[in-house]
Structure 1
Amino acid sequence: MSRPARRRASEEPRAPNRARARASSACPGTRGSGICSTLLAPGRSGRTAGTARRGIVGRPGGGCGEEAGEVLEFLEASPLVDHHCHGVLDRGLGREAFEESLTEAETTGPPGVSMFDTQVGFALRRWCPPVLDLDAHAEPDAYLARRAELGAAEVNRRFLGAAGLAALCVDTGYRPRALLGPPELGRLAGAHAHEIVRLETVAEQVAAQGVDAARFADEVRSRLDARDAVGAKSIAAYRAGLELSGERPAAAEVAAAAGRLMRQEAPRVRDEVLHRFLVFCAVDAGLPVQFHVGYGDVDADLRRGDPLLLIELLRAMDPVPAMLLHNYPFHRHAGYLAQVLPNVYVDAGLATHNLGHRAPALIAELLELAPFGKVLYSSDAFALAELYHLGALLFRHGLAGFLARGVDDGAWTAGDAERVAGLIASGNARRVYGI
């Protein structure tokens, strides 16, 4: 089914400011949630109203703020740099497999529990059906039937295109299933795609090929140098925890740890020495290093995932950028580190779409201490193309609302709000990664 082109909010005719202000103050649909229900409701045709994305309120509980609409229009017209994301599936999914892709758990839970009855599930039903020509809030079975009717290729094309991306930095190290890689993702999104190399994967590949332990370090460095990557990623949080020393491991320590790794039937880096060694390999190569922090799947031990545990290593890495990913529920700790350490940057990826309607609160809390020039956008989308769209949409809404409230309160000017929006949307990522 072909779909008529829809105007972006930034392309719609705009009423004079006074008229728009009167319309905003008179909006009957505002509730304490900060969302104008009138502007966000589906139109009579069943499609989302063309002005829906102007419905974020500048002040909680107030009228439909003009400033929020203008900041949101600016963000919608500004392609994002998604600095941490993954591949998507190129095949159809049944309901069970689809719901499993909406959770960080291994399963969706016992009978009677549905991932559609979660923040991310309701966000998906609110924002994704119109992209597939359905009413907002379509029932799950109707949504999945329409998804199957269109086919994976068309679904992926629509959602990656709807995300409004200029560039993607794709973590290629985790592929438990067949996923589309950076070239395919870039083509579907109409964006430049870059690789983020996962450090532990490189080390495990070297170990699996039987390289002598004494040559392990040089082989890892050589392979890392040969990759055309814009950054590296550490998953120490999943394996050894984040309490990593800031000292470079000695060559003898690395060789001994490599020997232990090679004796494993299926090499899996879990040694604190090797995690530190790998980070310093990336530092020596001049690559920004991404760290998984906090929220993740069941392999992540949140007791060892607080970014404050990294402080010694973060200091030792300076001036090479350290990119703290996800961060929930430690996002305020991450914001503190971004303020006090010159080389630390933060995002709220993964948590943004999982928190759904509560994403604006997360974004506001991240921005309490973090310098605005050190906050980036990421989706951490994986498997489902919908997560690219949801991450981008909820980020834009949350950031626009935060900045507009500041304009309303006189904390900064409208010009400042647009400048900061541009930094967080893409400018900071372009500067750090050189893309």
Structure 2
Amino acid sequence: MDSVSSLRQLIQTHPLIDNHAHNLLSQSAACDYTKYPLEQIVSEAQGVALTNATSTLPFHRAAAQLATLYQCSSSNWDQLREARNQLVQHDYEGLIRRCLEGTHVLLLDDLLTDQDVEPFDWHDRFTASRTKRIVRIEAVATRVLSSALRGGSIPSQSSDPSNFQPLWKSFSRDFCLRISDAIADPAVVGFKSVICYRTGLDVQPTDDDNTEPLLQSFARTISRAIVSTCRVEDKPLNDWLVRQTLNLLKSVKSTLPKKPLQLHTGLGDNDINLLRSNPAHLQSLIAQYPDVDFVLLHSSYPYTREAGYLACVYPNVYLDLGEVFPMVSRDAQESIIRESLELVPSNRLLWSTDGHFFPETFWLANKQFRDALEKVFVDYVTNGDYSIEQAKRTAADILFHNSNRLYNLNEQSLSDAVIVPVVGSLSRVSPTDSLEIFIRSNPDIKYIWMQFFDFTATLRLRMFPILEFAKIVRKQRRIGICVAVLWMMQDDTVAGGSTTGQFYMIPDLSSLCRNVGIDSKSATVMTWWKTEDGEALEECPRTTLLNITNKLCDEYDIQAICGFEVEVVFLKPTTNPSAGEEEDWVPTITNHSWSQMTRETRRMVPLLEEIVETLASIGINLEQFHSESSPGQFEFILPPASPVTAVDTLIKTRQVITYVAEQHSLRATLHPRPYPHAAGTASHAHVSISPPTKELSFLAGVLDNYPSIVAFTLSGDASYDRVKSGIWSGSEWVAWGTQNREAPIRKISSGHWEIKSLDGLANMYLAMAAFLAAGYAGVKEDRPLTIKDCLYDAATLNEAERSALGITTKLPNTLAQSLRALASNETLQDLLGPDLVKNYIMVKRAESKKLNAMDEKARRKWLVERY
């Protein structure tokens, strides 16, 4: 029973991604029942037919449930409307917040209407993460057509269709441009077609050689628009819109995420042709575009089985389980879930509410779906079809992970023990509730490791039995850490400062995550550093990064996203006792090179796949992995996320890689250059800002402060062995270049850069904070970008060529140089905190002195064993 209870708890509490919804009505329109009948909550009927909705089983069920939502003593419809009116008038946002409780992110088709609704980004205040857009292609076409009608020369209705050719060229060009712009827009995660409503799902899969029918269709559409409303509903033209969108999605650049096409299927109001709403009509089109993902919306009801067949046999088809909740009865809802699971792989089932206009549409859909999912899954577990873990994993996939993966959202759910990537905001679930959810989902966990990352990039931790940790969460006890940590080195020697006083570790429950790859019934949680009075400690690296991220967002509405490439070298121990040798480390393999699969490299595949699968078990899904240039070197690429989230995930990933390697008696090291004769080991970061309108001043700020930034990104003397030309590590000059891997800043796309001067010795919270702070300074001061796009290794250019590009500053080639630059940089000191910078410099100078006193072999071994 306890196991079944944990399944029930997960289904009822797991955050969800609503992959298809629409805008809510404004407060002033929310009670206009003449224009927006409240009965539409439970019926697709319209007009006179809608009056019969109050006699349906779904209506009676919804009314009883709404009575609990409104805290109304009766389910009488008139009384419910009056109770609702009071809520809307006095606390509309409170009602919305209750209705969207548990919704992590909304994917909004905000082109349903442009009247009486709140704008798309207004909905952000009610969800854990920012709302994303789904672009309705017919609405785009209508807007382009309206613009063409206003600005073009319109032939007479009786004209030969060929006379419409100039207008057609203008329309088709502008439509494709708008779709292409939306593909490149990071706020847009998918597209939608309502061709089902217009001309049916029997879309011609290929263009006819004869373009005359298309031109005739366009001419008819123009002629109707002149005398009536501008609406695209002529079959050849509508088919062309879908095909053209698919062609553009198919040819999207590899640097951009794939974006699926949603199609309304099945259930709809009375302007659909029910027979042509069967998704079976789409089979040939789906086969024609195997590189584009299709989402069949609304459970395709009553054609759920046909949709299930398509999702079974075509890997690019996903079935959305939305809209039928709350439109059909309880039995029908459970039947739809069962029919969906008959054939469809569970990783291609998505959840949505199709919520629109009324917040209650979201509430009823989510409540009824969770109840139906719980009933069906408990039945399957009871009958032995699912194990508890299989049922829990499948439920979490449907509610969250499948949409997260399909739409490339890179979100992390609290229930899966990774931080929620919301700039400046944590989950709205209380810490106590968060811990309770985690414990119920992970009943085997007995210990919690509270972790922090110090100035030397040493991960330090305290371990607690889970009952004691619960006291910390409930603020029944505090964990004090001696302030000497602020100037402590890897071997616990202190660089200076005082040993008097302490700060307090406060667990960030949104980062709570199981330990995997190690034989331990434990989990880790990252922490904030607080003063005695509960204020944020200036020297806390996570707080520093969060603060500068928030400044960009709050002051300039700039969202920053980071992603990391984890490069490691796998070493094996070796000794020669007869020669009196101590244990040392040598490469696991030597016949090995970049992105090749040699005989020796193939021996590493089981280890690599074990690492990838272990990471996936805690929700860290790698984008790719491959061999790198140095002997035994491999790279694992993480998905992007908000800055603090991304660094938390990076640290957890490194832990898992280390643990799994140790299970095989290997060492995974981040040493920047463990072999002088081979390529070095970096930890490149990708940083993007959205919108990219301030990218020039942002980049100018970064470049102007780059010698100081390097004090954080190349934070050890060993790091500067990579500041060399010709080894793809960023070369030797402060410069940037589009797709130039011999520049310290490689521009990838608008507002998206890769930082090359970065390795695993860095405290990545501070490295990212310094980079973003420099960019912030550039934006604040509106700095001009004086350094031009460099397409070559600047070290190979002569002085005149560099000068023409504005390249005048060499990168520091020692830690001492970069620390001197930082010590004199008032801009970064003001933004990062003068005490933080002062203590950081003190620690790094003491560390440098200690390491430089060692011989080269001892220094290398010392670093390999710690990083």
The answer to whether the superposition gives a TM-score over 0.5 is yes
Q: Which residue number corresponds to residue 218 of structure 1? A: 173
What is the letter of the counterpart of residue 240 of structure 2? Answer: F
What is the letter of the counterpart of residue 14 of structure 2? Answer: S
Of the structure 1 ranges 176-185 and 287-296, higher mean CA displacement relative to structure 2 is found in 176-185
Structure 1 residue 279, shift from structure 2 partner: 2.2
CA contact (8 A) 1:155 1:385 kept: no
Structure 1 residue 281, shift from structure 2 partner: 3.3
**Structure 1 residue matching 2:81: 3-state secondary structure:** helix
Of the structure 1 ranges 388-397 and 205-214, higher mean CA displacement relative to structure 2 is found in 205-214
Residues 118 and 176 (structure 1), Cα distance of their counterparts in 2 relative to 1, 3 Å cut: farther
What is the letter of the counterpart of residue 148 of structure 1? Answer: N
**Structure 1 residue matching 2:318: 3-state secondary structure:** strand
Of the structure 1 ranges 424-433 and 115-124, higher mean CA displacement relative to structure 2 is found in 115-124
Q: Which residue number corresponds to residue 405 of structure 1? A: 379
Q: Which residue number corresponds to residue 139 of structure 1? A: 76
2:218 is aligned, of 258, 273, 276, to: 258
Q: Which residue number corresponds to residue 384 of structure 1? A: 358
Residues 242 and 152 (structure 1), Cα distance of their counterparts in 2 relative to 1, 3 Å cut: farther
Matches within 5 A, 1:265-276: 265=226, 266-276=229-239
Q: Which residue number corresponds to residue 20 of structure 2? A: 84
1:297 is aligned, of 246, 250, 269, to: 269
Structure 2 residue 189 is matched with structure 1 residue 230: yes
What is the letter of the counterpart of residue 424 of structure 1? Answer: I
Structure 1 residue 258, shift from structure 2 partner: 3.2
Q: Which residue number corresponds to residue 441 of structure 2? A: none
CA contact (8 A) 1:323 1:346 kept: yes
CA contact (8 A) 1:72 1:396 kept: no
CA contact (8 A) 2:24 2:118 kept: yes
* Partner Cα distance (1:177, 1:120) in 2: 28
**Structure 2 residue matching 1:380: 3-state secondary structure:** coil
Gaps of 5+ in 1: 1-16, 21-65
Structure 2 residue 318 is matched with structure 1 residue 318: no
**Structure 2 residue matching 1:170: 3-state secondary structure:** strand
CA contact (8 A) 1:147 1:155 kept: no
CA contact (8 A) 1:124 1:386 kept: no
Structure with more relative contact order (C-alpha pairs < 8 Å, separation 6 or more): 1
CA contact (8 A) 1:319 1:342 kept: no
Of the structure 1 ranges 117-126 and 101-110, higher mean CA displacement relative to structure 2 is found in 101-110
Matches within 5 A, 1:29-428: 67=4, 69-90=5-26, 91-93=29-31, 97-109=37-49, 113-135=51-73, 138-151=75-88, 154-155=91-92, 157-163=94-100, 164-175=102-113, 177-210=115-148, 212-227=167-182, 228=185, 229-248=188-207, 252=211, 254-264=214-224, 265=226, 266-283=229-246, 284-285=248-249, 286-326=258-298, 327-358=300-331, 359-428=333-402
What is the letter of the counterpart of residue 392 of structure 2? Answer: E
CA contact (8 A) 2:99 2:359 kept: no
Structure 1 residue 193, shift from structure 2 partner: 0.9
CA contact (8 A) 1:95 1:144 kept: no
* Partner Cα distance (1:152, 1:395) in 2: 29
Q: Deviations over 1:80-120 (max 9, x none)?
A: 1111111122234266622245421222548xx55333233
* Partner Cα distance (2:260, 2:115) in 1: 27
Q: Percent identity?
A: 26
What is the letter of the counterpart of residue 237 of structure 1? Answer: C
* Partner Cα distance (2:87, 2:14) in 1: 28
Residues 420 and 209 (structure 1), Cα distance of their counterparts in 2 relative to 1, 3 Å cut: same
Gaps of 5+ in 2: 153-166, 250-257, 410-867
Residues 217 and 355 (structure 1), Cα distance of their counterparts in 2 relative to 1, 3 Å cut: same
What is the letter of the counterpart of residue 332 of structure 1? Answer: R
Q: Structure 2-normalised TM-score?
A: 0.41
Residues 182 and 355 (structure 1), Cα distance of their counterparts in 2 relative to 1, 3 Å cut: same
Residues 410 and 101 (structure 1), Cα distance of their counterparts in 2 relative to 1, 3 Å cut: closer
* Partner Cα distance (1:379, 1:415) in 2: 26
* Partner Cα distance (1:87, 1:154) in 2: 18
Runs of 4+ in 1 over 3 A off after TM superposition: 159-163, 248-260
* Partner Cα distance (2:179, 2:204) in 1: 22
Q: Structure 1-normalised TM-score?
A: 0.78
The structure with the largest alpha-carbon Rg is 2
Q: Which residue number corresponds to residue 33 of structure 1? A: none
Q: CA RMSD in A?
A: 2.3
